[in-house]
Structures are given as structure tokens and as C-alpha cells.
Amino acid sequence: MTQQRIGRTPAESRERWPELGGRSRAAGAPNVVVILLDDVGFAQYGCFGSTIQTPAIDRLAREGLRYVNFHTTAVCSPTRASLLTGRNCHAVGFGHVTERLAGYPGYSMRLPDSAATVAEILRGNGYTTWAVGKWHLTPSYETGPQGPFERWPLGRGFDRFYGFLGGSTDQYAPELVRDNTPVSPPRTAADGYHLSADLVDESIRQIRDLRAVAPNRPFMLYLATGCGHAPHQAPAEWIERYRGVFDAGWDAERDRVLARQIELGVMPPGTRLGPSNPGVPAWTDLTAEQRRLASRMMEVYAGFVSYTDAQIGRLLDALEATGDLDDTVVMLCSDNGASGEGGPEGSVDEGLYLNDRPQRTEDGLAHIDELGGPRLYNHYPWGWAQAGNTPFRWYKQFTHAGGITNGLLVRYPGGGAPAGGIRRQYHHVIDIAPTLLDLTGTAAPAAVRGVAQQPMHGVSMRYSFADADAPGHRHTQHYEMWGNRGIWQDGWMAVCRLQPDGAGAFPPQRPPATLDELRWELYDHRSDPSECDDLAEREPARLRAMTELWWAAAGRYDVLPVDNRARAERWPADPPAPPGSDPARARFHGPGGPYERGVAPRVAGRSFRMYAEVTIGDATAPGGRPRGVLYAVGGGHGGYCWYVQDGQIRFEVAQSSVQTETVAAPFVVAPGRHRLEVAVDAAADLSARIMFTVDGAAVGGGSVSRLLKRVPIGSGRTYVGHVMSSPVSGAFTAPNPFTGELHELVVLPGPPAGAAPAVQRETADAEMREQ
């Protein structure tokens, strides 16, 4: 190597340039593409037996490997944490989703610096890294417009980010972030916008831009789609492709899919269907109208998956066009089993599930022609989720096979992954990061940025690429989700369900008094992968040893304490507030936002008051009477909005896409400077009285039958003086800025609903007077 020499002049010196641009392709570093789907079950790819057409995913199977004994963590955030770090989810603080944080190590929702992501490691070895799509790994109290950003994608190893921070979002009006800044979608649903296509457009753009300036630099793309999480939304023409396809129902679909799985070699001959889950009716027991609605909901879901598959196909074609495809490790899987969160009848709006509201067939029938479109946040019935997890039992959130078993596709012809193979070795999502490091020739570092690293808990799957019969490198794996527990050991699975009465609803309404009341089940997955024969009574010694092994793993990997509380207790009314914030008062100095749900004032499920100092212009001026948003939280799928329409003050509650209530004051605000106030007094049942005042004088009000218990995860942003994307009210379109001058707006949250209303009003009145 040429030695650098510094002399008095260039003639007396010798240059040596630092290495620029990272490693080159010639050094043998493949590109990495990891595609993570959401709530797509084991049996919802064509190459795994599904009726749903997925030619791009099937191409990965045809040109690569199918891992049919691959497992995840039963819900989204923990799987993502494990995938990116190679560690067990509780050991890196992700025992559940980011919104369900708790003050215990395994539930902090803070990826520790001692668990570097695979993106951090690869970027430190010359890779360009991109995260596109769903993140859901930032604690809610760190999602504010000023960060801190250490646990946003750019703080965890990605050079660029384009996607959404939360657990779900509207596919037509998503709550997008570019790098560290909220942005609006580039188009609207009316212009043909859909998030799946936008995410792949962004991925292709980043790849082409890199290749234009650095044709030999390796890259990592982490593409996490919103498909097939609710809302199930897709272009109408894709939904119509499935008209009538599912009319035979979910029972017939399970039979058909299992036969196809055996034919394809995905499941071995003799595999039986797991017992039907409690609460799932036989298709023949449904009324004709119930069958019509359920069929349509599945058609929508299938169109969603197929449309997203087509976008994946565009990405593969783009990689082929740049000459990168065969030099790229492509991995694709889902984050958990198919979701039963639509309940027995399905739902036109997932916000109903989150707010403990009944989901009725008549609601779905009234809006059947809108399913899959931009208005609704629909989710199919759990009978289809059961079919989507064929041949397994239960769903997402459960540690039975249906909740944790997912198909994994691996395409890498340059790395010894043969075309068309099936692999049956037991593997877990924690094995992806070690596999990528192995394939890229990258050692797991002992320290990253000066922080000593936890050992990776996963193992590389590379040993299985060339040898379908190679002995598996995994011997145990523990599971816990919502108090459900499980442990696998050399082909045996012990599993314990928290719901004691067998009902399908989850989390439980009536938990056991103690964990010791719960019964463990035992299955031999080598001969009974679908968990039909419970061997707990016949193998008591084995079961006892495995449950003891689970408790040992729970202590070692920060699983404890096991949360066995009822549903109402699990979601804290007052989770941690952002550092430096005042939960009792929030002051906005003029228009602002969006503010992510974790840092905005807490107004769901409680009484609260707001006042705004405004100046109203002359109603005869251009624009006419004052109008526009004062304060809004959420969107058209659920939220609150305080706004002015034609000079009239209004407060609107959207309990869901199809359930809204509006209270208006019979009063027109005159030009000049005013103090506008709204008081929301909630009763224990979340009914509420709404009162308006202008300059201290009451001007009217009314009541609503029910406030929101929780703002929907996918549309939870707060805005002051305007809105973005999908507005709460159908009376206007975004951005609907306030046409007067908004000097200041103050929010005074009260205690959760159920506290004495008189006390809440007295406290709020006193704080108002202090202002």
C-alpha cells in the first residue's frame, strides 16, 4: 500500500486517499433486501397453498427456498425488534407493541444501545441502508417533532427512512414521515394513490439513485409494508378479481388449502386440520347475508395482498434491470399469524375493536360497496384468519402455532440457496440478522459506538441452504405474548393460553386469579404440527420439565412479570409523558403539528377543556365567514375535532368511520379578538356533555353518546389550526386551515372518565381563570 508522505510542497509529498464509498461488489458483499409483510398468515401465499394469487412471492419460492417451519413472536413490534437485532424480543425491551409499554425491562419499548441492528452493523461496513414502510419501534413518548431521534430509523442504522412510525395507517391517506420529518402523501386516493405502490416507488428510486453514483456499493433495503394489517384497502379493480372466489366459505377454504399444501410439499402427508377455534361459526350456520358480507371482506383482503404482491414484483424487476437481483439476498416473511381482531362478524372499522364497541353485520352490509375504499378501516371476520393460518390453531397474539408460524422465502442464488427447495429445520425470526451477517461476511461486533453488545440469540440459517436434511441448529425457543406462553424444544411444544374459558375474544375480559390456574398443553410437532393431540396427560414429566424450562428462559430474557390482568387494566390511561412535558396543560403558540399520538395532549377517554385566543376577520372580506380547524386529534377513522364552520363553533366525535356525532353552537362569532372555549365533561360510560363559551359567555352546547376510549393507532396524530390527510369531519377536506389568526391554544386534560364531573369542571374552571 502506498504510504502517505507530507512534505513542504506537493512535489515533496505523496498522496494516499482514504477508502471511499464502502466495499465494492468485487469484495463479495451481496446486497440485502428484507421484505416484511404484516398480519399475513402462513397459508396466504400462493406457494403455501393459498387461493390468493401472489406471483411475485411465488417467484421467490420458485427461484429460492421456502422455510415452512419458521416462527415469529405473535405480534408486530416484537417481531421487528427481533428481526433487526437478532435477539429475543423481551431481552431488547419489546415484550409487546410500543403503545403497550410498562416500567419493566422487557416492556420498556426502548431498543438498547447494547443491541445494534443489522443495519447499524452493515452501515459500519460500507453499506447504504434504507428503511421503507412500517417502523413501530419508537417508544410513544419519543415520537415528537423534536425527537429525541435516537430510536427513530435514522438513529438505528438507516441512512434514509420513508414510511410511518406507528402500528398501522390508512393505505390511502397514510401518516408519513421522511427521515425525521412528517410529510403528506404525494397524491390522494382520487389521484390513484395507494401506500403499497408508494413504498415500492420510493425503494426503486433509492436503488436507482445509488446505482447512478455508486454502481458497486452494496445496500440494505428493509421494506415493511402495511399489507395485510387493517385497514384492508386496495384498488377496486384488484378486489373485483376475486368476486365470488370465496363464496364457498372458510371451512371449504381450509380443506382446499390443506390439500394444496400437502400437494406442494409445504405440509407432510397425513397432516390434519387443527380444531376450529372457539367462536368461529360453521359457514353453513351463517345467514345468507352474513355469508355475502364475509365473502366480500375476504375478497377485499385478497385484493390487498395481490396488489401488494404486484408491487413486490415491480421491485424484483427493478433489481433485475439494475443488474442487482442475483447479487442480492432477498428474504420475505410476515410478522405474525393472520389476525382475528375483526371478531366473529368482521368490522367496517378497527377502531370499534380498540374502543370495545360491538361489530355488527348490519353495519357491514350498510357499507358493503365501500369495503376496501378510502372511507373505511375494515377487517375481515376471524373465520378467514383461521383459514389464513391453515392448518394451525389460533391467530396473531396467541403462542399456538397459528399465531407464531410464518412462511419465510429466501432467494440468493449467489449464496448457495438452490431454486425451488423446501426447508423444514426449525427457525425463528431472531435467526435473520445472524444469517445476513454470515452471508455478507460481517462479524457481529463486540462493541458498537463504544457500547458493549449483547450476544445475538439467533443462529445463521446458511447451513441449511445447500442441505435440506442438515440437522437443525436450534434446540429451544420460548414465547410470551399478552400472557400467552409457549416453549419449543427439539420438536415438542408446550403452550399455555391465558384465556381460561376458551373464548376467542382477546385480550381476556376475565383473567384467571393466578397463573397457576392455567392449564399447559403439550404437542409433538414432529408428528402433529397442527396441534390436534394434546399429550399433557400422557407425558406429565416432559411437560413439567418444559414448563420449568420456560420459567428459566423467562427469567433469563426479561419476560417477567407475566401480565395476567384483564383487558381494561392492560392499557395504561396515563402512560409515560415526554420528558419536560406538562400532562395537565399543553400550550400551542399558533398553528402547529402534526404531533404523534405519544406526545400529544391526552384527551381520549376523559374530560378535558380547551380555549383558543383568536382574531376573526371581517366576514365580508374574501373567504366570507370564518372557518377552519382549531384542534383535531385522529382522523376520519376515529378522533375529535374542534372547528369553525361558517362562523359557527362545532365539536365533532368520530367513534369510527361510520359513527360520528356533532355538537354545534347556535351562534356566529363576530369579527374581532375573542377567547373561544369548549368543555368536554365525560361520564363513566364515556357519554359526554359539550359546552361552548365565547369571551366567558355560554353560547350553547349539547351531548354525545360516547367519546373515544382510545384514538385508533393508524390515525392518531394531533393538529392545531389545520389537518393533514384524512380529517375527522366529513364537513370539510384537508387541510382546512383556520382563516382567522390563531394566537394561542391551550388544552387542559382532566382525569380519565369516571371521576366526579363536578370536580373535573371545578378544576378546569380554576385553571382557565388562572390563564
CA distance 479 to 78: 11
CA distance 176 to 198: 11
Cβ count near 282 (within 10 Å): 11
The secondary structure of 194-213 as a DSSP string is -HHHHHHHHHHHHHHHHHHH
76 is catalytic: yes
Q: Are the C-beta atoms of residues 529 and 271 closer than 8 Å to each other?
A: yes
CA angle 461, 87, 536 (to 5 degrees): 80
Tell me the torsion sign for CA atoms 582, 585, 589, 592: positive
Q: How far is CA 423 from CA 491, 574, 648, 752, in A?
A: 15, 46, 65, 52
CA distance 635 to 736: 13
Q: Which residue has the cell 431472531?
A: 430
Q: Which 8-state DSSP code applies to residue 275?
A: P
Query: Smallest Cα–Cα separation from 96: which of 373, 461, 456, 479?
Result: 479
CA distance 261 to 267: 5
In b/e form, how buried is each residue of 679-711, taking b as 16+ CB within 10 angstroms?
bbbbeeebebbbbbbbeeeebbbeebebbbbbb
> What angle in degrees, to the nearest 10, is found between the helix axes of 288-321 and 195-213?
10
Q: Which 8-state DSSP code applies to residue 472?
A: P
Catalytic residue selected from 90, 136, 427, 722: 136
Which residues does residue 694 pair with via DSSP β-bridges, in sequence order?
A: 676, 697
Count the residues in the chain: 771
CA distance 136 to 714: 11
Q: Which 8-state DSSP code applies to residue 425?
A: S
Catalytic residue selected from 47, 71, 76, 367: 76
Q: How far is CA 55 from CA 59, 68, 411, 423, 547, in A?
A: 6, 18, 15, 20, 42
CA distance 736 to 256: 51
Coil/strand/helix, residue 434: helix
CA distance 600 to 337: 32
3-class DSSP string for 341-379: CCCCCCECEHHHHHCCCCCCHHHHHHCHHHCCCCCCECE
333 is catalytic: no
Q: Are the C-beta atoms of residues 221 and 34 closer than 8 Å to each other?
A: yes
Q: Which residue has the cell 381494561?
A: 568
Query: Smallest Cα–Cα separation from 272: which of 259, 288, 285?
Result: 259
Q: How far is CA 327 from CA 118, 217, 414, 682, in A?
A: 18, 12, 6, 60
Q: Is 17 exposed, middle or buried (0-12, 13-18, 19+ CB in 10 A)?
A: exposed
> What phi, psi does 523 have (nearest 5°)?
-135, 145
Would you name the residues annotated as active-site residues? 76, 136
